[in-house]
Every structure is written in structure tokens, then in C-alpha cells.
Amino acid sequence: MTTTSQEELFRFLEDRFACAQACTECARACATRASLVDPDGTENQELVRRKGIMCAEVCDATCRVLSEQNQVDEETIRVQVEWCRQVCLESAHVFDGHPGAERTAEACRACARACTTFLATLN
């Protein structure tokens, strides 16, 4: 293995770990945000609750896919990470309009950035 390929492998593993870690943080933030919203609240509160639950589930699933060493093919990983990136961006947008959800929106954006970085290592 050449130094360049070793460096590429280390970068791939670091980016994969960073993405999985960001997914975990985002899932935690979204689950917490969803639990704080009144289930019988306004339509906007219901949207925040649903997006929080969905984002938490997608991020959790993505973290699991990224944690499975050599059990998932690259295309499956790519599709899962891209889906996570999209859901995080959509959720961040919804959280932007909800007072008190700024940290959750930022966790979603951080996860989307980590997903984007990891996707770049797959190309």
C-alpha cells in the first residue's frame, strides 16, 4: 500500500467516523426537540415534532450503516448518507422557524456538512 493510498484510507475512515458521530449528535438533538413539542399543539408544532422524529430515525439508521464494517456496499452507503443529508437540511429549515430550536437546527446542519464531506471521499 502506498503512502497516498494509506492517506486516502485514513481520510476515508476519519470522514466516515465524523459523519457517524454527527449523525449521533443530530439524532439526539432531534429526538429531544421532538419530545419537547406538545403533540396536541399547533400545525407548526406538529411539523416540528414529525421532522424531529424523522430526522432522528434517519440519522440513527445512517449511523448504523456507517458503523457496519464491510457489510454494506458503497452504493448503499452513498444512498443512505445522501438521504440523511437531505433530511437534515429539510429539518434544519423547519427548526429555523421554531423558537428555541436553534441548536437543533445547527446540529442538523453540522450533520449535513459531515455527510457532504463523507460523500466527497466516496467519489
Distance between first and last Cα of the chain: 20
Provide DSSP, 19-85: HHHHHHHHHHHHHHHHHHS-TTS-HHHHHHHHHHHHHHHHHHHHHHHHHSTTSS-HHHHHHHHHHHH
- Residue 2 scores a pLDDT above 70: no
If you average pLDDT over every residue of the chain, what do you get? 92
How do the domains of the chain map onto residue ranges? 42-122
For residues 55-84, average pLDDT: 92
Mean pLDDT lowest among 45-59, 65-79, 92-106, 107-121: 65-79
Read off the pLDDT of residues 20-38 as tens digits, 9 standing for 90 and up. 999 999 999 999 999 998 8
Query: What percent of the chain stands above pLDDT 90?
Result: 70
Neighbours of 94 (CB within 10 A): 20
Which pTM value belongs to this model?
Answer: 0.91
**Burial of 73 from C-beta contacts in 10 A (0-12 / 13-18 / 19+):** exposed
